[in-house]
Amino acid sequence: MSRASFGAMVLATAAAACAGQRATVPALSRAEQTSTSPAAALSKQLAPQALGEANAMLALARSARESGDDVGAALLAERAIALYQRALMLSRTARATLDLAEASSALAKAETEGQSLDTQRVAADARGEALERRLFLARESLAPKASGATDPIREAARLSAARSLAQTARLLCGAATLIDPATSGLDAERAKLDELDKLLAAAPKIAPIDAAARERASCLASLTAARRAQAGAVSAAADPLLAELSAAGVAPVRDERGIVVTLRDVFAGKALSKDAQAQLAALGRVAAAHAAIAVQIVVHDASAQPPGSERGELARTALVAAGARSDRVGVEMAGTRAPIVDPGDAKNRGRNARVDVVFVTGD
């Protein structure tokens, strides 16, 4: 073998040895590690297109390496790493968007459920209040137990209580008539009340308190029957009416008939006082706005007055003039039968003089 041939062989061997021991490309190694990382797996689910671009760039880097272009391989590998990072960013954004959508959906569902529960609670409260009122009326409608004999002082107190019960019964039956004149038994109840009034006027030694309590219970039952016959016509307006009257500053209260507004210093001789005219005009406008609700005017006196209902008619006329329906306004003259302070108290008995304007509601 010639010296030239031997030298060529040595060079070839050395070149082959160098080729077998080529240094690795760090950027390519990092890119390959990134391609198999959990981040790449996440990108495969949420950003597959961006991951595909990174994988394609990594393939180009590998091809450059195999062709001996280490510099090109490094540059391509760095681009692949950047594309993998971009894919990871897009996948995290997609995950955040999905999480936000799920959270928004859960929040909307919770809010809907909350609103539904609030609606159910309000309805349950309303049903509970209605049941409590019905229970109260049912208890009040029960016939009372018979009263036994007692001493003269207590008998006098019973006589006063009997007069008050009889008057309450008359007001309850009157309210029933206003709601539904066709309620059965009202004529018979009024006849019984007339007989009871005659008996009470005679101041019997044995007070007819049991009879008065029975009449009150019967008239309350008649009012309940009238309300049922007109179910829905007036009950829906009761709460708004109460709120409206409260806002007007007239201090309304509830009783068995409905919503009561008490007026004082109503009459100036045989006419209405100026303040009473303004108050009745305001109440008449309220009655006009709630035309389905009947109105009962009750005149109470501090002392005995001549018979007749002229003063009650004055109040009725004022209400009707302000818009109340004439066929839905009734007058009851209670006289001195329902005092709120002792009539024997000369200093305070004037408080017994008053006019109650009762909006007869359906519950």
Give the pLDDT confidence of 311-330 residue by residue, as tens digits: 999 999 999 999 999 999 99
pTM for the full model? 0.59
Contact 259, 296 (CB under 8 A): no
- pLDDT surpasses 50 at 130: yes
The dihedral over CA atoms of 68, 69, 75, 77, expressed in degrees to the nearest 10, equals -20
DSSP 126: H
- pLDDT surpasses 80 at 251: yes
Is CATH 2.60.40.10 the right assignment for the domain spanning 232-363? no
**Which residue pairs, CB below 8 angstroms and at least 24 apart, start in 156-160?**
156/207, 158/207, 158/209, 159/200, 159/203, 159/204, 159/207, 159/209
- pLDDT surpasses 80 at 12: no
The reported pLDDT for the residue numbered 94 is 86
**Digit-coded pLDDT (tens) for 284-295:** 999 999 888 899
